[in-house]
Structure 1
């Protein structure tokens, strides 16, 4: 980390706090560390001297804008710059709490505007086909593997799980029989309980009946071809093959099934707050994106079918 020893120690303590108290993922912490390292490195060259905590606190808005301009030269997208600013502001707040003063320059910098990318759900019949084994019946793969993939994808579409959440389920917690809910740990270490519908339960039961391995109660529910923990990449590749069979765009990913879960619930009158809880979104504004998806879908249907729609 560039800068003198004091600011390096401060940065280390900040990163430790992000992991232990805020429970950010290792990848996010790594990204934040990289963001701060790039910023401090730039400042050393920009100011022509080793950066100190005092120097960081006394930065001028012009210094930060010079850094952002430099990042723009590297063809860095607005979303990445937004994250970088968020990291730097987090470090500045930490420095303030540690008694080093207020880095007021950051409050004078506005975050760049980013295009709002709406979720791209699948059509109901397509999502349903992807959670069944029939679509892949012609593939030269063992039946239990097809059943396993169908069970994982059923959890994504039927319960709105992230792929990481589905693959963290232990065998003893398998939602089968009378167990119709599962508890998962989502982003930020937040725990939520999610209902599992009978169709998804049946898919998991079919997988367990055909699985050739004896699964440890405390081990993963879903295993790979050799009996180890199943990699998300295997499911991504399975969906990639399905895209070819169904003629779908690259946006048809395992995560698109989670988007489909939310959008299809909303289109059938689902409560936005309830959907937020099911998805584990920290902010309702994230869930509200699905209302825009549904509105766009309705407008598209109107424009293609209504006799008075503009042509």
Structure 2
């Protein structure tokens, strides 16, 4: 084994190299995928990301000439080389996510006795930049939420689309839903009298979400006047064909209203969730309550919004106080 750095050579056609050999998939990937999907109940999106991480690592092992030696023969230096080479292909956050997925992969096989250790434990990673989540101000949210009615008034869209789009925006912001939670929402999960929805979030964890007085009113109107079906298993957010709206369709829909409100076009549906959390904390909501409303497993995930609130307070102080 050459003790020098292992060099990853980018395949001429990465997509052609992406598929795992059938024997590798059957022996190493498929049992882990079943565990993620059925025992951990991870979303299809997360399972897909874990697979991409494993496929990339497998390609590197093959092209670096170390696959045949087996996982237990991997050395720390080799894994450092992998991380260094991966930085050419991925951003730092993606790299962190990939290594996290690979740690989970080896943890799974270590428990089942197929490997002797988790080689990614202790592997150094580049530091992540501390980025505060982007969010809209309350005034910007008002402009965004007014978009569907403006287009309806100008006859740029029909009534169905206007009310459906208003409902999408109200639920993303008024209930702090992830876009996948929104598009997966059925009528049977909503109690309009109580004003709450039963949301199935990451890891198939359920939580109760208040959806807000305004969102309830918009939902009632859309249901009564435009919904093609309202059975318990019928989707709330639908296309004009009556089919469940996809996350991608929601993302594209949002772009229209961002442009209309003259807001940054790189804002995503998730940024409305950021706005929801930030506005709650700015108004004095308890951090643990916001954690529960967002469905975060760890309080640390929610605490990033306190930094946003503090930054906003400092900005207001700097503008308003004579001694600032």
Offset at 1:301?
Answer: 1.7
CA RMSD of aligned residues (A): 2.4
Q: Does 1:271 align with 2:289?
A: no
Q: Does 1:126 align with 2:140?
A: yes
Q: Deviations over 1:9-40 (max 9, x none)?
A: 13321222111111122222222223222222
Offset at 1:144?
Answer: 2.5
Q: Secondary structure at the match of 2:238?
A: coil
Aligned residues: 304
Distance in 2, matches of 1:240 and 1:302, equals: 33
Offset at 1:103?
Answer: 2.7
Q: Please, which runs of 5 or more residues in structure 1 have no aligned partner?
A: none
Task: Provide TM-score, normalisation by structure 1.
Answer: 0.88
- Identify the residue that residue 177 of structure 2 maps to in structure 1: 161
- Within a 5 Å distance, the mapping from 1:2-17 to structure 2 comes to 5=23, 9-17=27-35
Q: Deviations over 1:208-251 (max 9, x none)?
A: 23316354442112221122222333433332122222221124
Which of 62, 80, 88 aligns to 1:65? It is 80
Distance in 2, matches of 1:301 and 1:193, equals: 34
Offset at 1:101?
Answer: 4.4
Q: Does the C-alpha gap of structure 1 residues 198 and 9 become closer, same or farther in structure 2, counting only changes over 3 Å? A: same
- Identify the residue that residue 103 of structure 2 maps to in structure 1: 89
- Within a 5 Å distance, the mapping from 1:220-239 to structure 2 comes to 220-239=235-254
- Identify the residue that residue 11 of structure 2 maps to in structure 1: none
Q: Does the C-alpha gap of structure 1 residues 216 and 105 become closer, same or farther in structure 2, counting only changes over 3 Å? A: closer
Matched-pair contact (CA < 8 Å) for 1:4–1:51? no
Matched-pair contact (CA < 8 Å) for 1:135–1:242? no
Matched-pair contact (CA < 8 Å) for 2:172–2:182? yes
Matched-pair contact (CA < 8 Å) for 1:2–1:8? no
- Identify the residue that residue 20 of structure 1 maps to in structure 2: 38
Task: Provide TM-score, normalisation by structure 2.
Answer: 0.85
Matched-pair contact (CA < 8 Å) for 2:183–2:245? yes
- Identify the residue that residue 181 of structure 1 maps to in structure 2: 196
Which of 87, 97, 111 aligns to 2:125? It is 111
Q: Please, which runs of 5 or more residues in structure 2 have no aligned partner?
A: 1-18
Distance in 2, matches of 1:289 and 1:80, equals: 19
Q: Secondary structure at the match of 1:102?
A: coil
Q: Does 1:42 align with 2:57?
A: no
Matched-pair contact (CA < 8 Å) for 1:182–1:194? yes
Distance in 2, matches of 1:105 and 1:253, equals: 36
Q: Which moved more, 1:79-88 or 1:258-267?
A: 79-88
